Amino acid sequence: MKRLLVTVAMVVMMAGILSAQIDLQPIANVKLQKSEPITLKQLKSRVDSYQKEIGRTMTLDERKQVLDTIINERLVVQAAERDGVKVTDSEVNQNFQTMISQQVGQEITETDFIALIKQKTGMTIDDFMKAQNGMTLSEYKTFLKSQLLAQRYVLAKKQAEIQNMAGPTDSAIRSYYELVKTAGDPTLLTDPTVPNFVQSDMVKIFLVVVPKGDTPDAAKAKLADLQKQLKANPAAANDIKAKSTADKAGYDAGVLYINKNDSAAKQLGITMDNLIQIFKMDLNQVSDVTETPNDFQCFLLQEKYGAKILALDDVVKPGTTVTVYEYIKNLMLAQSQNKAVNEALLAIINDLRKPENFQILKSGAELDKVLTW
């Protein structure tokens, strides 16, 4: 029996070794500047990423398209390196930090993000990233770098044409506005780049937060003093805000714009009923002190904005200066430029996809078998 268990264990171990060896086999080779193999493992990782995004298993033809995509990326990266176009690791890290900050909803460092993921999910950053997009953090950054490099290479090649593109006409801007101002066309709702110019009920609050730190009683007393100042004189918010930026101020203060909807309530961590109570407050009214596990808070209600369809000369969001007209103009120009970049990238790829620059090492039924896992 013992010999049987040992034999089974050896078979399992050998199967694992063989699987790893198969995954490391090259299935394509890019050789524009240098010989750079693309392994089955790299293809599996990318396919896994796309399958998580689309929520289903990719077909054989789709997997072949993914292989072509990786080949195209490697060709562009090697062409960029050949022509002296570079993206530094610090630029990749900064871009990644911007992405995770948008995901979290506030500025956050990579170190703090890793700690947050561990705290919230109990997962390592690599396990979390693989669950999200099928790649480890290192693999994702390599992918991100290739995307940034391709974009920079295209801009270096076609910068003049892209930057000198004519902006949208006044007529086009107004037509766009009429089309989407209430998202009347349901097909537009699936496009995240299309804004909905319906402003919900909104309030502007001045929020003051005092971290508890090691002295929660002192923190509570500090907030009570700041609350007293706001109640006595709502205009004191300006002075409180200015002093919050000083070293050792001991508190944070700033303006928040809050919509009256479920997503705003969830973001604030309160119930919809509590959110509605905020909207029932009077102008210049100061809230009671609330306590969280980490701090004490209170706020001053400064402005109320009624729900409406925004006109072209309205600002997109209270507290900003960009009008709906300017927003649409910039959006349409960006869409045109993105289209031009994609077309330029496709032209560059078509020029680089020559037999002498790459080779797919398997074909026909042999390739189909490798891509079926």
Name which of 92, 63, 83, 85 is nearest 371 in CA terms.
Answer: 63
Give me the pLDDT at residue 17, please: 47
For residue 178, give Cα distances in angstroms to 44, 152, 183, 209: 45, 35, 9, 42
Q: Looking at 15-174, which runs of residues are DSSP E strands? A: 26-30, 36-39
Q: Could you state, in order of their start, the residue ranges of all structural domains in the chain?
A: 25-84+165-198+312-373, 201-306
Q: C-alpha distances in angstroms, 346 versus 24, 64, 161, 297?
A: 29, 18, 15, 53
- Per the listing, tokens 């009256």 go with 260
- Token readout for 42 is 């790299």
Q: Which amino acid is at 152?
A: R
Pairing of strands 36-39, 26-30: antiparallel
- Of 37, 22, 75, the closest CA to residue 371 belongs to 22
> Comparing C-alpha atoms, which of 279, 232, 230 is closest to residue 258?
279
pLDDT at res. 193: 54
Question: Could you list the pLDDT tens digit for every one of the 373 residues in the chain?
Answer: 555 544 544 444 444 444 455 678 899 999 998 999 999 999 998 998 899 889 899 999 999 999 999 999 999 999 999 999 999 999 999 999 999 988 887 789 999 999 999 988 999 999 999 888 888 999 899 989 988 998 899 888 888 777 778 889 999 999 999 888 865 444 444 455 556 788 889 999 999 999 999 999 999 999 999 999 999 999 999 999 999 999 889 999 999 999 998 888 887 888 899 999 999 999 999 999 999 889 999 999 999 999 988 999 999 888 889 999 999 999 999 888 888 888 888 999 999 999 999 999 999 999 999 999 8
DSSP 248-267: T---EEEEEEEESSHHHHHH
pLDDT at 160: 78
- Its pTM stands at 0.64
How many CA within 13 A on the CB side of residue 209?
A: 14
Give the residue from 262, 298, 265, 300 showing the smallest Cα distance to 281. 300
Q: What is the pLDDT of residue 12?
A: 47
Q: Which CATH number is 201-306's, of 3.40.710.10, 3.40.640.10, 3.10.20.30, 3.10.50.40?
A: 3.10.50.40
Q: Are 136 and 129 in contact (CB under 8 A)?
A: yes
